[in-house]
Structure formats: C-alpha cells, structure tokens
Structure 1
Amino acid sequence: MPATFPSMAQRIPAQPRKSAHTGVVKAVLGPTNTGKTHLAIERLCAHSSGAIGFPLRLLAREVYDRVCAIKGADNVALITGEERIEPKGARWHLCTVEAMPSRPDLAFVALDEAQLSADPERGHVFTDRLMHTRGREETMLLGSSTLEPMVKALVPEAEVVTRPRFSTLTHVGAKKLSRIPPRSAIVAFSAEQVYVMAEMLRRFRGGAAVVMGALSPQTRNAQVAMYQAGEVDYLVATDAIGMGLNLDVHHVAFAGLSKFDGHRQRRLTTAEMAQIAGRAGRHQRDGTFGALAGMGGHDPEFTPEEIYAIEEHRFAPLTRLFWREAEPRFDSIATLIEDLESPPPRPELATPPQAIDLAVLKRLAEDVDIASGVRGQRSVQRFWDVCRLPDFRQQGYETHSRFVARLWQDLRHGYLGADYVAQAIAQLDNPSGDIDTLQARIAAIRSWAYIAQRPDWVLAKDEMSARARAVEARLSDALHARLTERFVNRRTAVLMRKAGADAGLLPVRLGDEGAVLVDDEPIGHLEGFRFVVDPLARAEDRKLLLAAAERHLPGLLASRANVLVAAAGEPDGIEFEDTALVWQDTVVARIERGRHMLSPRIKPDLALDRLAPGCKAEVLAALDGWFAAQHKRHLAPILALDEASRDPASGPELRALLLHLVESGGVLPREQSGLDRLDPAQRDRLRKLGVRIGSLDLFLPAALRPAAMQAWHRLARIWSRPLPLPPESMQPVVHAKIAPAGYRRLGNECLRVDLAEKLLHAAHRTRLGTKARRVFLDPAVARSMNLSTAAYAALLRAGGFRVHMGRALPERAFGPPQPPLWDWRPSRATTASDAPPPPRPPIGAFAALADLVGR
C-alpha cells in the first residue's frame, strides 16, 4: 500500500466558513502612501496574537524583521511557500497570502493589497481570504479604494475607512533618459528593456539598481538597499515595483504603458498605472510621474483622462472578484477538477482564467500511468498539493507539469530521500555564470526550497530547508554582484551625485599613496605634484575629473608640500637617482651645473609650478637645505681641498695639485700630480688636508667611501665627464676595461687605490725585513682581496719591483720548483703600461701569470 500523509489543511484546524464573528472588521482603503500597512503593523502588535497576509514574500520578510524588533524573534513567525520560521509558541505571524494559517484563535488578522482579488492568476486566493479569514477580535482589509463596492457587497459587516494620500502626485510630461532627475525610478515591462535602460544609465549617470520579479527576494533587497543608500540615484524596475516596495523615489518614468500579461499584449489599466506611479513621493513629500521620451518613435503617452485619474486617485470601481472553490472534494481527480471549475455562488464573483496549478492537474490527469495510481481522498489531496507547486521557473505549464510529474513519482510512495534532495540542491550551488544563468538557478532553488520546507514531503526538513536557503543566499549574492558589475559605474555615480555639472562641489581628498578620492572612489592620483586622471575613467568623465582636480588641487598640493618639507628634514627623506632628487618615487628636482664643479644648483621639477608662490618657496628652501646637508656630509674632505686650492698661502704648485685632486674625486696618479715640485712645507700642508701620498697614487681615504664616491660621480656626470660608475659598496676588486674613479687598473682587474697602497707597503716591509737583495712576496694577502696572482704581479711591477724567475730543476731532480724572487729598483721603476720583460721559460703558476700580464 502506498504511504499517505495528512495535508497542510488537515494539520491546521480549519475555521468554520459560515460561522458568525463578533470581532470588528475594518476595510482600510486608499491610494498608495497612505500608511495602511504601517497601521496594520501597529494593530497587530497591539493584540495578543495575529497574522498579516502579504502579496509578496519580500514584504512578509520586511515586516517580519520590524515585528521581531518589537516583539522578539522567539514570538514571531515567518511563513511563506519557501521559508518557514516558526518558533514554538509564536503568537504573531507574517505570511504570504497563500500560506496564511486559518486559525480561529488569532486575535487579529489583516489582508494586505486586497484589491488583488481581481488578479486573474492569484485573485481567487485573495477573495477567499477576504471573505472567510477573520480575527477573533479584529480583522483589517487593506487595499485600493476601487475595492469598496466589493467589500460592501461581500463583507457587509465591514466598516469602510478611507485614508487620503499623504502627498500629491503630479504629471510632469515626458523626459529623455538623459534628463531624468536623480532619485527616479524607470519602469519597463520586459527584462530586455530593463537591461537596455540600466545600461544607458550606467553610461550617462553612473548606473542604476535593478528590480524585477525574476530576482530572488534577497537580490531585490540588495539592489533596493544600494539605491536607498545613495550608491546609485536611479532604479530600473518592472511593474514589480508597484507592489508594496517602500522606496525613496521622487519621480517615476514609464518606459512603456503596455505589457504582456501571459495571454496578450495590453495597455495598463489606470489603476495599474497609479499603483506604479504612486511609488513616487514618501509620506508628506510630493512625487511626480511621466513618460520616457526618445524611444525611437515608440514614446509612451498618457491620455488626459489617465493623468486626471492618477493625480486625483479616481478609478473605476471593481465590479467582480475572481473566485475558485477553496475546499474542493478529494473523492477523485475528476471530482477535484469539477469542483475547481465550478461556477461562483454569487454574481459579484467570476471564474478566473485557468491558473497554472489547475492546468498542471488537468495535464497530468490525462496521463493514464499517473492518474491510475491516484486513488482515495488522501492520495488525491496529496496529488493536488504537488500540482500546486509554484512555477518559479516561469517556463509554462507544459514544462512545469513534467517537473511536477517527476516529483510525484518520488512522493507517491513516501518521502523524498535526504540524499536525493541534498544532491538536487548541491547541483545548483554554483555562483558562477552570467545574469540569466544565475536567475535560472535561483528560480530552480526556490522550487527546492518550497519542496524542502514541507514536513510531509521531506524527512530531514529542517536540514534541507537550511541548505536550500543557504544556496539561494549565495546565488543571490552572486547575482547582485553581477548586476552591480554590469549596470553600475561607481565613479560616475559618485561624480554625478556629488557634483552634477559643478565640479567645484566634489569633495576631493588625498588618500594613501597619492590617490585622489571622491567619497572613497578613486578618480586619479598625484604623481609628485602632477594630477593624473584614472585611465579607466570614461571619456565623458575626464573633463569633469580634471575640473574637479583643478578646483581642489591647491589645498591638496599644499598639504602634500608640507609632507615634502618635513621629509626634507630627514637624511633619508629624499633619495638620489642619478642626478635627480626623488621623493615617494617621484622626481621633485634635479641638480645642474653651477659656477664650478662643487657648486651645483637645484632645478625644481615643472610640476612644482602648480604650488602657490609662498608654498613653492618653502619647498625649494627645504630641497636646497637637504641637498646642502647631503653635499657637506659626503664631500667634506673634497670641499676642504677645494677651499685650500683657492688660498694664496698654499702656493701655485700646491694649488694646481689640489685642483687636479678635486677634479679627479680625491684620487690622482702620482706620476701626473706634480708632487716633485712641492717643497717640504707644501707637502706637510698636503698631509694635513688628509691627502695620503702613496707609492703610485695620491688619494683622500675619506673620499673612497661609497657615499662620497657616488656624490662626486654625480657631480662629474652633470659636467659631462663620463667615467664608469664606481660600485655602490666600493668592493676591493672589480672587473672592468676602464678603471672607475678611485681604482687602479691591473690588466682586466681594477684594485681600489688604498688597497693597492696597502699591498705595496706590505711588500716593502717584507723587503726591508730581510737582508737578502731578492725576496719572496707571498700573494696570499692579494688573493684574500680577490685579486689574481697575475694582477698582483702587475701591481708589484708598477711599484718598482722586478721579478727574477727561479732556475729549473736539474734533470732527474725532484721537488717543488724554485719560487720567483723580487727585488726593488726605484731608479728603474716601471708602471703598468711599460713593456714586459723578455719572455722566459715559465716556472710555476706565478711566473706564467706574470708573463700573461706582461702580454
């Protein structure tokens, strides 16, 4: 026997449909923006229990959050087709109309947007709630004034209360999209038209939020929140905007006045127009509405009669409401269909067009394999519950009926397995894809959310419902991100919102790393003191961005100049790159020739001309001070030589030598110096200036420090003296064909002059420490400096030493070869450029390398 289960209606005690009620029934009618829903919430909270039925899950969720803040979440329930939050003992219920509990114990019951009883698709549900759902103490029917005749006919005991609109609604004519004012809603009637309008607003005004019925409630909430927060100033929506969304809209523009209602393309009724236009204006702030011009010959136009009706809230009253038997018999499928298609019992009621649930029921009843297995009241009722699964995918009853048939095959014999439901949900848990793909997945997951929250369909109801809601939330977040990415240009939106046409109104500030921001949205950056527009900015924005920058740059540059002045007070606040002064990776000045080599000038970068004169003078003074400090710090010994070279007391010979030393960076070959022309007093003065007189070179040890050599080389560059740049660390040995400043060339190697002098002094100490005329000079110290044996031999020869190669071993003699010996003959001192001695048979590695250097 197939397992059967009680229906939702059987599990909740039904209220007698013909019983009398002692409670008060009020019909609160009026146009939009009359505070009807707010009044219902107040009355709900004033009673000990109650329920309100809303036309949209979105509205039920919004009011649920408000009532939870008042009554506490443990006392409030949210009941919709896809979501059920029912704390034990909850006394206040916020529901969609289809999910409203029919309970006589509720003290208060309200029905929102009751005029939807005339809706062809869902009207029969609203009609049933209007006629039969009552609160024990108070019932409130909320809706349009057009509903008043039907209320008086069907609910004669109701007290009708008419509420006026808080603000006026005025027609302002047609406007082009580029002329639509901020805080406007543009209403279109197809997804394609919504996308076109949103894309155009992205180009013209920085973007728009998008609201469509196909979006999930969470996505709609996120889009509306973006609009409400002012991130965008425009909203593009379908007619879904007209149903209870509370928005800060000043103007509503209609991109069309006709729509496809599922059967045909028709013009909107004036009541539908007013429902949408009524979104403009909130509380006591007036609103406007109009058509959208520039639609290529298809401009919508309101007729004078429609304008009058909307502005004065005068509409033709409803003359009938749709009705369908709410408690059909479940003896058989045929009996069920017969009751659902039965004529209404009163002349004020009309048979609705065939709803999709009835269409699916009839379609599956034609399938013998399915219909033959539906026997008995409980089975028929369960089958009807499955057929009433909403078509969230909006694919038509044929496609939807196949999904329902597959679902029934799994449900007819029991519950849906948790693994099966979990797998179906997991297949949809994929937040990648474009807008249409994500919308399709959200529609599918809403179907599974509806299925999972049925305790008589799914065993692990709570777990599966939570999974479905989590997937829907992730997909909704992804869809919101795609919509924002496609239809919102945040930079342009900020510009237009803050400035309009006046760039001076833009609140510009300087962010980290020189970014120029408007409301934390980057519009460009400062490279030093030059403003560069963001390369991603649209061409239309560039003029406005530049104008905004020009208006605000003086203040930004002044603050930036203060930072530069402070940095100039620190030794490492500014850096050198070749001859440029660099601050925060930006060249702020360069050094150029002055009166002589050691007196360069500072040439500011042209971008500093943007500073105010006084501010620029402070920056230049700071840069001059920083450079002077660096100049004195690194070149103090050479500056002392330069000063002595201008002192007449030094004598012409010493002054000439000092000038050569200064021009060569404190290092001068001895044979070119004119040292032999100095008298003892001048030599003594030279030593007091820190100059060391070496065997091969005159040099300033302090000038051989890396920073000092780099500073001198920088000056040599601006005087067009192209010398190889010395290594930053001034390591002992470098390999170069031309010796850098401070080095002596020895073959293919260059040795720092102070170390060369050190090696020669060591050789002389060895020579003087023995009485032999010829001595062995160990190259170990040279090799510790990374100097090759051949280069060491070249240094010794340059210092006046002469090598004597050892004799070859006699035939059949064994042992190490005799090492080369050196003697010193100053009268015949040679230099590295002298010709090598006559070749001899190489004896040992030292002699072979010496021979190579000579070549």
Structure 2
Amino acid sequence: MILSGRGVTAVLGPTNTGKTHYAIERMVAHGTGVIGLPLRLLAREVYTRVVEKVGAQNVALVTGEEKISPPGARFQVCTVEAMPRETRAAFVAIDEVQLAGDLERGHIFTDRILHLRGRDETLLLGAGTMRPILEQMLPGVTVVERPRLSQLFYAGSKKITRLPQRSAIVAFSADEVYAIAELIRRQRGGAAVVLGALSPRTRNAQVALYQAGDVEYLVATDAIGMGLNLDVDHVAFAQDRKFDGYQFRHLNPAELGQIAGRAGRHLRDGTFGVTGRVDPFEDDLVHRIESHQFDAVKVLQWRTKNFDFRSIHALRQSLDAVPPILGLTRALPAVDQQALEHLSRYPEIVDLASSPARVEKLWEACALPDYRRITPAQHADLIATIYSDLVLHGTVKEDFLAEQVRRADHTDGEIDTLSARIAQIRTWTYVSNRPGWLADPTHWQEKTREIEDRLSDALHERLTKRFVDRRTSVLMKRLRENAMLEAEISVNGDVFVEGHHVGQLAGFRFTPVSGTEGPDATAVQSAAQKALALEFEARAARLHAAGNADLAISSDGLVRWLGDPVARLSSSDHVMRPRVIPLADEQLTGNARDHVVARIERFVNFHISTVLKPLDDLSRAEDLQGLAKGLAFQLVENLGVLFRRDVSEDVKSLDQDARASIRKYGVRFGAYHIFMPALLKPAPAELITLLWALQNDGLDKPGYGDLIPMLAAGRTSVVTDPGFERTFYKLAGFRFLGKRAVRIDILERLADLIRPLLQWKPGTANRPDGAYDGRRFTTTTAMLSILGATPDDMEEILKGLGYRADVVKPEEAAAFLAAQTASAPQETTAGEAAPQETAADEAAHNPDHDDADAETTSEADTGAAAAPVAEAAEPAAADAGEPAAAETGEEVAEPKPVLLWRPGGRNDQQRNQRPHGDRRGQNSRPQGETRRDERDGRDGRRGDGRPDNKFKGKDGGKPRNDGKRPEKGDRRDRPDRAASQPMRFESKPQRKEKPIDPDSPFAKLAALKEQMKK
C-alpha cells in the first residue's frame, strides 16, 4: 500500500542549498528521529554532526557494515538500505531522493519514499527534478524549493597542470583517477583520492587531507556528488562517460550538475569546466548547469515489497510483479535477484530451501553486497556456502569464517592489493552484523572492524605516499600562512626547509629536487632562496679567501671549488687567457659576485701559467728577435707543437745563436716536430687539449678527453680511431700516422735509431739497380721496444713517415745483414759510442738536424740498434748444424718475406718533413695508402719479374722524369750521378768540418773514424 503525501515535505533544490543541514536541525528538534543517507561515508559525517549536538549516547549509526547502538538511543543515522521498514520515530528524513531513478539502487529509494513515514514530520531531500513525480506519487505533499547560496560559473577547458588550487578533478575509473593523481603529484605537489571502492575510513582520511590544506587538489569519482561537503572552488571533468553497471554512457545534464555543484560552498561562488581529453561543453549544457534547469524525473524504479516465500519459484515470480500505478517502472535485476537466479539452478540449494522460512533465509543471504566486484556466479557460490551453513548448522562455521578473515589480515602490498583485501573484509564485516548469522557476532564485529581499520589506514598511507609530496604540501601550507621558513644546509649541500629536503646547493647554484615542477616549484624555490640569501654571501667570502688547492679546472671546462662547479671557461681573443663565466643564481650580486669572479680569474691564470710554464715563459720571452721570435709566436699559437715541415724554411734560416735562444726555453728541434717535451706530460697535455677545445668549440668533438688517459698510462703509441678529431692526437702529444699514432718524443727517438743505419758506409757494394745498400735498414728490437708495437704496427708507422719497403727473400736479407755484420767490428771499435759520435758530427755540420741529431740515444737503444730482428737471419740456421727440413721429412713452410726499408725517393729531410699523404709528383698518394709496388711487395716490378714500364722510360731502363723538374737534393733523377755517387742523407751540401776540441769526449772517436776512412 502506497501512503499519501500528507505530512510529507519535499525540500528540493540544487547543491549547496543547506538541505542536509536543515534536516539535521529538524530531527534534533524532535524527541526521536531517523535519517537515511545514500552513502556510508555521508552517514558517518552526519552521525558525527548529530553526536556533537545531542551526545553519543543518544545517537545510533546503522549501516550494512557497521552498527553503533547505544541503549536508549533516540536518533538513528542510517544508509537508505539499512533504514527500518517501519518506525515509530517522530521524524523521518530521506536524503538524495532523486536516486529513486537510479537503475541499480533506485527501487530501494522508491520503497522508502512510498512506505516510510515519521509520526510528526517526514522530509524528502533532493534535486528539483523530483518535484513533478513526487507530486504525482504523493498527493498532498508540500514542496519547498531552496535556492543555491552561491553561483556557479563555467570556466572552460584547462590543462590538468594549469587547474587552480582547491580543484576537484572527476573521473569514472580507478585507473584514470590514479593516473591523474600521479600527474598532479609530479607537477603540483600532490592530491587526495576519493573513490567509491575505498573504505569509508580511507575516504574520510583522504578528504581530511584535502580539507586540512595539506594538498590543494582532489581526484575523485562521482562519489563526491553525493552530499560530501568539501571546500572545492573548481570542479574539472576529466571524463564525461561512465559505466553504470550495464553499459558505458555519457552523463546526463542532471548528473553533471550534481557533481559540478560541489564547487563553491556557502556564500562563495564556484566554477566548473573540463580538462584532459574531454571536449568543451556546449553552450546549452553550460546554461542548464549554471541555472540548474534539468529534465524532470519521469519514472521511479520499483520492485515489489510483497515477496512470496513459499518456494524459490514463487519468490522469483513475485519479483517479476509489475508496478501498480503509473510513474513506476520495474527495476532491472539487482545483485540480490541475480544471485537468486544463479542459486535456483543449484540442486543442493533447491533441496535445502524446502520451507517458507528457509526460502526467506535464502533471500536474506542473497542481499549480501558484492563488495569484491566479482562475477555473479562467483558471488553466488559464496552465498551458497553461507546459506548452507545457516540452514544445516544454524550459523556460519567459525573455521570457515576464521580462514576467510585470516586471508585478508595483511597490510603489506600496494594500493590494488589493499583495496581487494578491504573489499573482502567488508564482506565479512557485513556477515558479522547480520542478526543470527554467527554464534559470536560481537567478537567477529570487533575483529573485522579492527582489520578493516588497519587495512584502511595502510591504504591511506599508500595513497598518500604515492600521490602526495609531503615536502611540497607542507611548504605550500606554510607559505599560505606567510610564516617565516626555517632552513638549514648540510655539509654536503643538501638544503632543508622546515625539515624537508627541497634541493641541493652546489657552489652558487640551487637545484630543486625532482617532482616540484610547475607553479609550486617556483614557490618552493622562492622559499629556499629566501632562506639561502645569507649562505650565498658567506660562500662568496669563503671563496674569495680560498687557496689554490681548493680550486680545480676539470676536463669539461668547469672551474670547481671543493668539487662544486662555480664557473665555466669560454673562448677569448687569446688561447692562453680563456674567459671566465660564473655559474651562480641571480641572488649572487654586487660585490659578492665581483669578488667571486676576480678570485676565479686569478686562479685560472695562475693554473695555466703554472701547468704550461714553458709555454707561458716562451710567450713572454723578450730576448728573442727576428725569426726566433716569429717561431716562438707560432709555437705558442699552436700550443707547443709544430710540424717541422710547416716551418722548414724558418728553421733553415735560423743561425746557431737564434736556435740557442729558443732552445733555452725548452724547445726541441726534432726530425719531425718542433716541440716542447715538458708539455707532453698528462697534466699539460690535458690542459692544452682543453684550451684548444674551448677556442674551437671542441668539447663535444669525438676524441676529446679520450687520449689523455692513454698518455697518462705511459702509452708510447696507440691505435688510431677514425672517428676522433685528428687535432687531439697532436695536442695530446701524438703524431697521427695512419692506423697508428706515436708519441712525439718517442718518434724522435725512433729517428735517432734509424739515422745511424742510413749513414754511408765505405766498402759496401752497389746494387745493380743503382740503389745503395747503405741506404737501407731493417726494423730492430729497439725500435719495436720503444714504440710498444708489433712488426705490423712498425710497418704502418714507417710508411706513415715516408719510408718505402723493399720486399726481399730471406736469402737476400741474410746477405744484406751479413754485409753489415762483416763491417761491424771496424765500425764499432769504440764500442757502442760510434752512433753517438756520428750524431754529434752531424750536429756540428748540419744545422737542419741540430737537436734531432745531437741528442744521443741510451746505451740499451744504441746497442739494440745494431741488432736486426731475428727473423731476417733465419736462413742461417742451417750453418749452425741444424738438420735440413727435407732430411727430417717435415713439411717446409714458405719463408716469410723480409722488408728492407729505405727513404721514399727524396732526401730524408724533405721526405720526413711532409706528412704521409701530402707528397707531390709521382710519389703523391693519400695518407695511409700504400703505393702499388709496396702493396704488391715488389720494387717496381710486375708479377713476372720484368720491370714495370709504368715507372720506367720507353726503353725500360732508367726511370723517367714525367717532364717534372727534379727537386733539390734528389739525386735519383740525375742521370750523371745516379749510378756513380751514393745518396747522402743531408738535404744541403755537406759543410766544411769544424775543428774538434781535443778536450772533447768525442775527439778520440772522431780520430778513429778518420783512420777507418783511410
């Protein structure tokens, strides 16, 4: 029977009209009362407010999962589902009555609206869209419409990261809510999260986090639209479609208005809009939301309250009853009816439901809410287990219940895991609160409540840890309060403001920690900088007074103070005087900044002048004149290394006094380079490469910084990397020679070893082709040793220096070595000092090879220079009495060819002064590329042994000149001297020998040499 509307007052209106507050005031004005609310969370809020008015002993809280019933309680705060079917209370109120049109829960609200009344007063609270249907259903009802206390305005579309503070972002799936909350945490410091799936305790804790101002943003589902009183200024819709339990659909204008109405509280206006991928609202929709004009509810969901419990079949038929009056529509099967449909197919359940009492008990068990959101079949299985225990044992088995509760009693895991456990424990909380279902309900009510609270607290902690940056939220709160921030700086530069780590101070630059981007980052940085103002001044003073030991220049061009970067170097007009650019925040200004810059500049100049002292001294030399001064200038500009070929004319023009004036500054005139040996050490070489890189934008060029560790490791030669910038090899003290690079000083030592082997030796027979055997040499163990190279590497190096290889058979090589060995006793009468004497003699008469020739080799190197590689003498093994391979029957391996090296056709000085691959005329070829006769292992001959006409004249005899003028000093192209005179090493005619000082240690050696010549 449907009751009339007499004595019923419908208080209708949009959100923020004070309807719930009005109902509470009316209820406590009566002696007894019952109020029904749509959410357990809202019921908890109203319960707290009523307790504040009349005391806890007078208020009961009744929900499906919780029951607080003090003896003699006069007021009941319930969820609508938990409201009594009949009551003798003086006052009854039902909130959010527009939910009577909801497909899932609407029939419950309709039943309470039609059948529950207070003795003195009944209030129906809801939206204005309910007025027509209420007036139709309840004749005589009194309708009171309340206007909204504040206005609502549309703010359009904004990016999530640009939403104003005190905003609520609405989405309709947990995944979307979590994704938005994570984004806001990274960009704006943090957000509270409210979902319908959270336990009431967790939702309360999250709402309290937002209400207290610890976070400025709230991310929620449409759960916030159901009466939650939040301090929200703006509501942004990140989604406008949701799954209503049956299908995905767009929210209707009334639903959008219900949620948007949460913006603005009391007399403060609010705004709403869209964000994310939601299209801006159309003008008509905006107007309807702002003016609260929505379509009226035309029908209410209805399900009969007269159940037939004679059998399961009769109960199912009664649930299919049609509404008795217009304006009601039969509701879709709810969770309880779906469970009943599944259970009616279980034979064991049908057998147990053999009486009306048992059928009623089955229907009561089917009302178990599906908190876990599992499939209807799984939910039906759980209900079947509970129902079987209730029928067969009178209560649910303790062992079964204990096992289910134990599985949920764990607080480890992440958000999803904890949410699933809370849903599970809520199921057993509901079971423990059902009258007559458990043997000891009080124990299990306390047990399940305790577990749910612990899980809820753990979930709140996980949500806060994941979606709230406590550091930023606390700072924002203090800034809003205009409080003086307390800051401290640890010894390692960590900056703490109000006890929270906000960033790192390195030198004079403050770097906020990650996760504080966007507008909040500016506020955090501002707070930190305000607290760091005095620290900048103090640091500037300490740096100004710091010693040079506290400062350093790193390979990346940064000047570091106690490890922290304080400046970077940049190019300037002079390579030795780079420009200093301070690395400091804007807070370092005035005299403090000037003192910092001046101190760093002093250090940089001191460091360069100390590490590169030879170069700095040379740049300041005032005693150099003319060509010597020009050569010194070039050396400084090229940072201490010049290819001799590039300045050969200048070097030839220098007299001995000019050479001596430059040499006293540590300059060495080598066979291949003019260089300063002191700059080849790792520290000077590293600084030189840095200065060049600064001047030529080379800090990011390949190879920078990779060669210095090799030099520091004592490497004398390295395999070249084609991707490296070649200039870095030169600056690091290496000569680039194709596939290998050799350290400059080691290359000069190699020249010292080769030079004695190329001296003319009397008594050596001429070869038929006109080449002089004394102009050829083989590699020695000393050469390989000082280079740290293999024979193959040595071949690449010698080719890079311009030497040509004659490939000969081992027999011919043995004959060549035997000829050298035959004259060895006469040539080395003075022991191993003969090469030194020759070098000294050359130095005295050849100014083009002063240092290269005069610098003597070590005793080990000189002795080894006369010892050829062992492989050339292998054919002589038979002379030692070894049995022949043929006699032993062993397979005879083909002898390995032997290379005899000779200058590449020009005098050595010209050849060595041109880089490999920079030759002109018929010998010109790219660097690292071998001539055809070198590649084929032949000396101008084809594969059949005949002369190659490409290199001969028409008659196949003398080499042709190709119409080119012979170069100075090249005797190979002079027909009158090619066969009669030996090729000399000097590039100029031999000078008249100067008299040797009789007191010189080389006098006896020179005299011995004269005797040998005679």
TM-score computed with the length of structure 2 as normaliser: 0.51
Mapping for residues 150-549 of structure 1, pairs under 5 Å: 150-293=133-276, 295=277, 299-413=278-392, 414-494=394-474, 507-510=484-487, 517-518=496-497, 520-524=499-503, 545-549=524-528
Q: Is the 8 A contact 1:360 1:397 kept in 2?
A: yes
Structure 2 CA distance, aligned partners of 1:536 and 1:320?
54
Measured against aligned partners, the alpha-carbon deviations of 1:585-612 in whole angstroms (never above 9, x if no partner) come to: x99xxxxxxxxxxxxxxxxxx99xx999
Structure 1 CA distance, aligned partners of 2:69 and 2:93?
19
Structure 2 CA distance, aligned partners of 1:108 and 1:115?
20
Q: Is the 8 A contact 1:201 1:207 kept in 2?
A: yes
Q: Is the 8 A contact 1:206 1:494 kept in 2?
A: no
Q: 1:484 to 1:104 in 2, by over 3 A?
A: closer
C-alpha displacement of 1:539: 7.3
Structure 1 CA distance, aligned partners of 2:294 and 2:120?
32
Q: Which amino acid aligns with 1:438?
A: L
C-alpha displacement of 1:423: 3.0
Q: Which amino acid aligns with 2:387?
A: W
Q: Is the 8 A contact 1:53 1:111 kept in 2?
A: yes
Q: Which amino acid aligns with 1:107?
A: A
Match of 2:110 in 1: 127
Q: Is the 8 A contact 1:507 1:518 kept in 2?
A: no
Q: Is the 8 A contact 1:522 1:534 kept in 2?
A: no
Measured against aligned partners, the alpha-carbon deviations of 1:430-464 in whole angstroms (never above 9, x if no partner) come to: 01111111111111111000001112101111110
Measured against aligned partners, the alpha-carbon deviations of 1:829-853 in whole angstroms (never above 9, x if no partner) come to: xxxxxxxxxxxxxxxxxxxxxxxxx
Structure 2 CA distance, aligned partners of 1:441 and 1:270?
36
Matched position secondary structure for 1:283: coil
Measured against aligned partners, the alpha-carbon deviations of 1:792-813 in whole angstroms (never above 9, x if no partner) come to: xxxxxxxxxxxxxxxxxxxxxx
Measured against aligned partners, the alpha-carbon deviations of 1:280-334 in whole angstroms (never above 9, x if no partner) come to: 00011000001114x3xxx333122211111000111111101101231211111
Measured against aligned partners, the alpha-carbon deviations of 1:87-108 in whole angstroms (never above 9, x if no partner) come to: 1111100000011123442010
Measured against aligned partners, the alpha-carbon deviations of 1:105-144 in whole angstroms (never above 9, x if no partner) come to: 2010000001110011111110010011000111000001
Matched position secondary structure for 1:322: strand
Structure 2 CA distance, aligned partners of 1:457 and 1:65?
29
Gaps of 5+ in 1: 1-16, 565-577, 580-585, 588-605, 616-855
Match of 1:805 in 2: none
Q: 1:496 to 1:175 in 2, by over 3 A?
A: farther
C-alpha displacement of 1:517: 4.7
Match of 1:112 in 2: 95
Mapping for residues 27-176 of structure 1, pairs under 5 Å: 27-176=10-159
Q: Is the 8 A contact 1:166 1:284 kept in 2?
A: yes
Structure 2 CA distance, aligned partners of 1:150 and 1:556?
71
Structure 1 CA distance, aligned partners of 2:504 and 2:410?
38
How many equivalent pairs are there? 554
C-alpha displacement of 1:535: 5.6
**Larger RCO, structures 1/2 (Cα 8 Å, 6+ apart):** 1
Q: Which amino acid aligns with 2:279?
A: P
Q: Is the 8 A contact 1:53 1:95 kept in 2?
A: yes
Match of 2:682 in 1: none
Gaps of 5+ in 2: 543-548, 551-560, 563-582, 593-1014
C-alpha displacement of 1:426: 2.0
Q: Is the 8 A contact 1:495 1:506 kept in 2?
A: no
Which stretch shifts more, 269-278 or 517-526? 517-526
C-alpha displacement of 1:420: 3.4
Q: 1:363 to 1:417 in 2, by over 3 A?
A: closer
Matched position secondary structure for 2:119: coil
The answer on 1:550 being equivalent to 2:533 is no
Mapping for residues 574-613 of structure 1, pairs under 5 Å: none
Structure 1 CA distance, aligned partners of 2:118 and 2:489?
61
Mapping for residues 581-730 of structure 1, pairs under 5 Å: none
Structure 2 CA distance, aligned partners of 1:139 and 1:472?
35
Q: 1:542 to 1:323 in 2, by over 3 A?
A: closer
Mapping for residues 747-826 of structure 1, pairs under 5 Å: none
Q: How well do the aligned residues superpose, as a CA RMSD in angstroms?
A: 3.4
C-alpha displacement of 1:545: 4.9
Match of 1:771 in 2: none
Matched position secondary structure for 2:472: helix
Structure 1 CA distance, aligned partners of 2:413 and 2:234?
34
Match of 2:711 in 1: none
Q: Which amino acid aligns with 1:492?
A: T
Structure 1 CA distance, aligned partners of 2:284 and 2:352?
57
Q: Which amino acid aligns with 2:236?
A: A
Structure 2 CA distance, aligned partners of 1:362 and 1:424?
25
Structure 2 CA distance, aligned partners of 1:416 and 1:370?
16
Matched position secondary structure for 2:156: coil
Q: Is the 8 A contact 2:189 2:472 kept in 1?
A: yes
Measured against aligned partners, the alpha-carbon deviations of 1:38-62 in whole angstroms (never above 9, x if no partner) come to: 0011111111001100111111111
Q: Is the 8 A contact 2:487 2:499 kept in 1?
A: no
Structure 2 CA distance, aligned partners of 1:149 and 1:538?
52
Q: Which amino acid aligns with 1:487?
A: F
Q: 1:524 to 1:48 in 2, by over 3 A?
A: same
TM-score computed with the length of structure 1 as normaliser: 0.60
Measured against aligned partners, the alpha-carbon deviations of 1:394-415 in whole angstroms (never above 9, x if no partner) come to: 1232221121112222222211
Q: 1:18 to 1:126 in 2, by over 3 A?
A: closer
Structure 1 CA distance, aligned partners of 2:14 and 2:515?
44
C-alpha displacement of 1:494: 4.5
Match of 1:596 in 2: none
Q: Is the 8 A contact 1:524 1:531 kept in 2?
A: no
Structure 2 CA distance, aligned partners of 1:179 and 1:487?
18
Q: Is the 8 A contact 1:494 1:518 kept in 2?
A: no
Q: Is the 8 A contact 1:507 1:519 kept in 2?
A: no
Q: Is the 8 A contact 2:487 2:498 kept in 1?
A: no
Structure 1 CA distance, aligned partners of 2:40 and 2:235?
24
Structure 1 CA distance, aligned partners of 2:527 and 2:418?
39
Structure 2 CA distance, aligned partners of 1:256 and 1:444?
29
Q: 1:19 to 1:28 in 2, by over 3 A?
A: closer
Q: Which amino acid aligns with 1:284?
A: L
Structure 2 CA distance, aligned partners of 1:542 and 1:26?
52
Q: 1:451 to 1:560 in 2, by over 3 A?
A: farther
Q: 1:556 to 1:61 in 2, by over 3 A?
A: farther
Structure 1 CA distance, aligned partners of 2:388 and 2:496?
60
